[in-house]
A and B are shown apart, each in its own frame.
Chain A
Amino acid sequence: MTQSSHLSLRKLNISLEDFSLKNLDLEVRQGEYFVLLGPTGAGKTVLLEALAGIIPLQSGSILLEGTDITVYPPELRRVGFVYQDFALFPHLTVAGNISFGLQNSWRMADYTGDSARKKIFPLPWMRLILKGKSHQQAIKAKVEQISSLFKIRHLLERSPNSLSGGEKQRVAMARALITTPQILLLDEPLSSLDPETREGIQRELRRIHQELGTTTLHITHNFEVAAALADRIGVIMDGKIVQLGTPREIFRQPDNEKVAQFVGVRNIFRGRHFVEEDGGGILQLDGFKFASISGLKGIVRASIRPEDILLSREPLRSSARNNFKGRVVEISDRGSFSYITVRIPSLEQDGKDLNLIVLITRRSGDELALDLGQDIFAEFKASALHIF
């Protein structure tokens, strides 16, 4: 391993009534955004709660920054936790929520860098008594600083109940990050948001992660979320990690049928997206242009499900806006269906060619009589191109 491992889980065993994790090993690297992707009920939340010290382990150990924190109580682990529904304290204001972790006076000195005070008053209760004005000011400054980062300064005096989903999400993140945790644990933080808000928050998450560099472990069942955010992805099924890799590796080369079915092998691109005057979208890749129906602007990722692409031997006259001529470079037989990789030559002279993965049934494959190296036409509708 080239990078140092930040969080490592060794032979983790957890067993609850309806669910268990068996001999789970996992390494998350320093500063990494790691996404644990798995179907609902795969035990992702339980794993996070175990890491936070909320649920006891049956066996195994958890190392954070080389320290064995397996037996530490939650308050000493320095993990940040964001629940799916954000779990904001309803009896406190937004400011009260965000500053919650700073109000524990014995850790206050750690957060404000007030080391002199810490030296003079080594015991926690002493600092409890001496929680003075300067502390309150330091807390206020920190709250304002992080609120600016999350663009929620105007919400500070509001009650959490009056916030929208996206606003709650930001508050929950700010509350977790203000204590500078060594690792941030996110439990499906985007799944309760509507798709539009989700897109925005997703970008926000990426920006914040780049800015703060907090090692993050994010769990989700949503492929788009994982692809958009992850440095690396671990696919978890039935209490086990079944595949580990970059988003590209996972989605292009699923290790087995189950993973493939779950993640859905997809074509993923990164490019610049424009909106035309008539409202239609254009995704610009290296030497390619795809029509879309999205209204997003700027650098985006895009995906097409392999089953949404049509193959034909002759050019088709159809309503599909995206038509390409290419060559079959790979045929991967999976029983009743096949994955066909079609290479589309770049329109620019020394541009990179583009590979499209297409899913067809075996019967279609037989009828098309596909062979390697054969010319083929591929097309898909603008609405099949998913921009995120």
Chain B
Amino acid sequence: MRRNRSFNAVFILLAFFLVLFIGVPIFLTLTGSPPRVFWQAVLDEQVQESILFTFFSSLIATGVGLLTGIPLAYLLARKNFPGKQFIESLIDLPIVIPHSAAGIALLLALGRGSALGRGFEALGLRFVSAAPGVVAAMLFVSVPFLVDSAREGFEAVDPRLEYVARTLGSSAWNVFWRVSFPMAWRSIISGLIMMWARGISEFGAVVILTYHPMIAPVLLYERFQSFGLDYALPVAGIVILISMLVFLILRALNSNREDK
């Protein structure tokens, strides 16, 4: 028993250190500015706009991710094809490369210098210093979270359930909508939440592709650079607070579903 006690003590101490390390800065940021200053920042139109813009852009990116990432996740979970491992590594790459590098890569591919960028521009879609650039950057860095999570969800579905559904008269489409998708839904929804949250928190890739219009992290950065810590602090507090709230609500909704 004594041995156990020392084990617990050491582990609790180490874990406590980490919790403090995360918790204290966030707490200080949230309480760092006087209420009046904080409230002023909340009423600041530029702050409001940038936050809404951030959330909305990430939502669009998540939508695009859903449309393209789910088929990819399903194919990776079910099929074997040459180059599958390469694609798996490729899709996870945005997680490990520096996000400023990701921004450079996107600038190269979608900028005015590239054929792709000019093609899109002809269609009225401009990525550099425009809202679509924000979406593109967010999509690039956050979609691996969705694909990985959804793939795990699909892998957990016994292929024989799909076979049985086929013998019961369902087409491949029908089986996907009635068996594979609903059964992987929990993994997909948690992937969507992760992707959306990751999109909201993105700075590096976005700032290279699109400085204006400003997302909240860029606005925060600009306030800090131009006016100093006191001006950046309330904005940081708001961004953290809202992100926390939204994240908690989504988590709660999702766990409610799971309980059912």
Q: Which residues on A are within 8 Å of B, measured CB to CB?
A: 49, 52-54, 73-75, 77-81, 83, 87, 89-91, 100-101, 103-104, 107, 175-176, 179, 181
Contacts and interface: CB of A to CB of B under 8 A. Distances in A.
A197 to B, nearest CB: 22
B164 A79 contact: no
A241 B179 CA distance: 36
Contact of A81 (B158, B164, B178, B182): B164
Contact of A75 (B158, B171, B179): B171
Nearest to B179: A89
Contact of A87 (B164, B171, B172): B164
Interface residues of B, number: 18
A77 B174 contact: no
Interface in B143-169: 158, 160-161, 163-169
Contacts of A54: 163, 166-167
B191 to A, nearest CB: 18
A83 B179 CA distance: 17
Given A75-B174, A80-B167, A100-B165, 11 more contacts: A52-B163, A54-B167, A73-B166, A81-B163, A83-B164, A87-B158, A89-B165, A90-B183, A101-B168, A101-B170, A181-B167
Most buried by A among B164, B179, B183: B164
A52 B158 CA distance: 17
Interface of B: 158, 160-161, 163-172, 174, 178-179, 182-183
A82 to B, nearest CB: 8
Contacts of B168: 75, 100-101, 104, 175-176, 179
B interface majority secondary structure: helix
Q: Which 6 A-B pairs have the closest CB atoms?
A: A101-B168, A74-B166, A81-B167, A104-B169, A54-B163, A87-B160
A147 B139 CA distance: 49
A54 B182 CA distance: 22
Contacts of B161: 87, 89
A174 to B, nearest CB: 12
A52 B165 CA distance: 11
Nearest to B160: A87
Contacts of B166: 52-54, 73-75
A107 B167 CA distance: 13
Nearest to B161: A87
Given A90-B183, A91-B182, A104-B174, A75 B163 contact: no
B170 to A, nearest CB: 6
A89 B170 CA distance: 14
A176 B183 CA distance: 21
6 contacts: A73-B172, A77-B167, A83-B160, A83-B164, A89-B161, A100-B170
A72 to B, nearest CB: 11
Contacts of B174: 75, 104
Contacts of A87: 158, 160-161, 163-164
Contacts of A79: 167
Contacts of B164: 81, 83, 87
A87 B158 CA distance: 8
A103 B183 contact: no
Nearest to B158: A87
Nearest to A79: B167
Contacts of A179: 168-169
Nearest to B174: A104
Contacts of B183: 89-91
